Amino acid sequence: MLSFMSAKEAAEKWDISQRRVAILCSEKRIDGAMMVGNMWIIPSTAEKPIDKRTVRYEKTKTITLKPFVKWVGGKSQLVDEIEKMLPADGKKVLTKYAEPMVGGGALFFNILSKYDFEELYISDINAELINAYKAVKDDVNNLITKLNEMQMTFLPMDENGRKYFYYSVREKFNSTVLSAETATEKAAQFVFLNKTCFNGLYRVNRKGQFNVPMGAYKNPTICDDENLRNIHEALQNVTIVCGDYSLSKSFIDKDTFVYLDPPYRPISETSAFTSYNSESFDDNEQIRLAQFIDEINKLGAKIVLSNSDPKNVNEEDNFFDDLYRNYKINRVEANRAINSKGDKRGKINELLICN
């Protein structure tokens, strides 16, 4: 007689999530699986399907997703270097991806464009940024409508009209409290301000109010509907969390690739790279992060951490070399603005630290 197991039992047997089992059943990838009532039952003899998602690093996807906001410290230049740190095909199967300090997500969107991870997790301490990610995931049509309206109003205006419009959006953004009712409106304002403000900076004053002046872009793309819709699709199996990176510990396990990109230790006296929010990321914060990395290292996760190299400024500064003495430390070259005005650029080293 044919015996069956539940989706929960199959999940335990095959060491995958129950949700994944349900997806495999509905995709007809498990012979003999049947829906009874609202539950899947699976023949006890069924083999775990060979899941294309566990064939890592096969570049099967064709859509290119781009970050939908500009973000200070964005890692577009380092994406290729970081990608090389994914374990080579076949060596280790990683099914989960976590980026707990996602910012604009240069690496995250590259990964989403190319690889099939089963589960993904992103977070950031910046509530407005995370609200924008959630609006793209959950309410993309309304977000696009609002952004298109702003784009059509703003772009034809002259300099004075644009200034008036920009500062009135900034004022509304600062005076509106984030809530379920205001979420999409605030997300649209956030994306608009990001695309039109000076250098895409996100800086707030002591009261937490966004205070970046208008930028000087001639024809900024405020609403890239196609990219937003593609991101919307791709975000559907991504958990999006607003909060401290340490919350990601409950998601991370031995099958997880974790990329951490904390705010920089300033590389010059004048640089203001740490003003993402009212809290700065000082050396004690860097030490707390290193302790967290030790914890997830013990869980068996594959970890990559990037940071600025303090040796760019002071050859004797061994802060990160000491903090991460038990890890591999790679120095890679990047072009970066080396002062807060962004007008002085040069080649500097970035640190890529991994286990």
Q: Report which secondary-structure segment, H or E, holds 40.
A: strand 39-43
Which runs of E-coded beta strand occur in the chain? 4-6, 34-36, 39-43, 96-99, 119-124, 238-242, 256-260, 302-308, 328-337, 345-354
What is the Cα Rg of the chain in Å?
Answer: 22
Q: Is 139 exposed, middle or buried (0-12, 13-18, 19+ CB in 10 A)?
A: middle
* Residue pair 293/305 in contact by the 8 Å Cβ criterion: yes
Q: How crowded is residue 229: how many other Cβ atoms within 10 Å of its Cβ?
A: 14
Q: Cα dihedral sign for 198, 201, 207, 209? A: positive
When asked if residue 281 is in the footprint of ligand SAM (CB under 6 A), the reply is: yes
- Comparing CB distances to ligand SAM, the nearer of 77 and 297 is 77
- Comparing CB distances to ligand SAM, the nearer of 123 and 151 is 123
When asked if residue 75 is in the footprint of ligand SAM (CB under 6 A), the reply is: yes
Write down the least CB distance from residue 191 to ligand SAM, Å: 14
Q: Which residue has the tokens 């994944």?
A: 20
- Comparing CB distances to ligand SAM, the nearer of 97 and 276 is 276
Angle of the 106-114 helix axis to the 225-234 helix axis, nearest 10: 70
When asked if residue 125 is in the footprint of ligand SAM (CB under 6 A), the reply is: yes
Which residue type sits at 284? Answer: N
Q: Which stretch binds ligand SAM (CB under 6 A): 48-56, 71-79, 158-166, 170-178?
A: 71-79
Write down the least CB distance from residue 119 to ligand SAM, Å: 19
Q: Which stretch binds ligand SAM (CB under 6 A): 99-107, 112-120, 164-172, 297-305?
A: 99-107
Write down the least CB distance from residue 7 to ligand SAM, Å: 34
Decide: helix, strand or coil at residue 214: strand
Q: 137: closest CA among 241, 39, 2?
A: 241
Q: Please tell me what DSSP assigns to residue 306.
A: E
Exactly one of 16, 30, 68, 105 binds ligand SAM (CB under 6 A); that residue is 105
Q: Which stretch binds ligand SAM (CB under 6 A): 22-30, 86-94, 124-132, 203-211?
A: 124-132
* Residue pair 193/199 in contact by the 8 Å Cβ criterion: no
When asked if residue 109 is in the footprint of ligand SAM (CB under 6 A), the reply is: no
Write down the least CB distance from residue 235 to ligand SAM, Å: 16
When asked if residue 83 is in the footprint of ligand SAM (CB under 6 A), the reply is: no
- Comparing CB distances to ligand SAM, the nearer of 263 and 310 is 263
When asked if residue 73 is in the footprint of ligand SAM (CB under 6 A), the reply is: yes
When asked if residue 104 is in the footprint of ligand SAM (CB under 6 A), the reply is: yes
Exactly one of 103, 200, 266, 310 binds ligand SAM (CB under 6 A); that residue is 103
Give the C-alpha separation, 132 to 143, whole Å: 9
Q: Which residues contact 239 (CB under 8 A, 6 or more apart)?
A: 119, 120, 121, 122, 251
Exactly one of 133, 166, 210, 245 binds ligand SAM (CB under 6 A); that residue is 245
Exactly one of 20, 189, 263, 353 binds ligand SAM (CB under 6 A); that residue is 263
Write down the least CB distance from residue 72 to ligand SAM, Å: 7
- Comparing CB distances to ligand SAM, the nearer of 73 and 310 is 73
When asked if residue 266 is in the footprint of ligand SAM (CB under 6 A), the reply is: no
Q: CA 23, 27, 30, 35: dihedral to nearest 10 degrees?
A: 70
Write down the least CB distance from residue 286 to ligand SAM, Å: 11
Q: Which residues contact 172 (CB under 8 A, 6 or more apart)?
A: 189
Exactly one of 106, 132, 252, 301 binds ligand SAM (CB under 6 A); that residue is 106
Binders in 167-186 for ligand SAM, by CB under 6 A: none
* Residue pair 198/191 in contact by the 8 Å Cβ criterion: no
C-alpha 245 chain-centroid distance: 12
Sites of contact with ligand SAM (CB under 6 A): 71, 73-75, 100-101, 103-106, 123-126, 244-245, 261-263, 276-277, 281
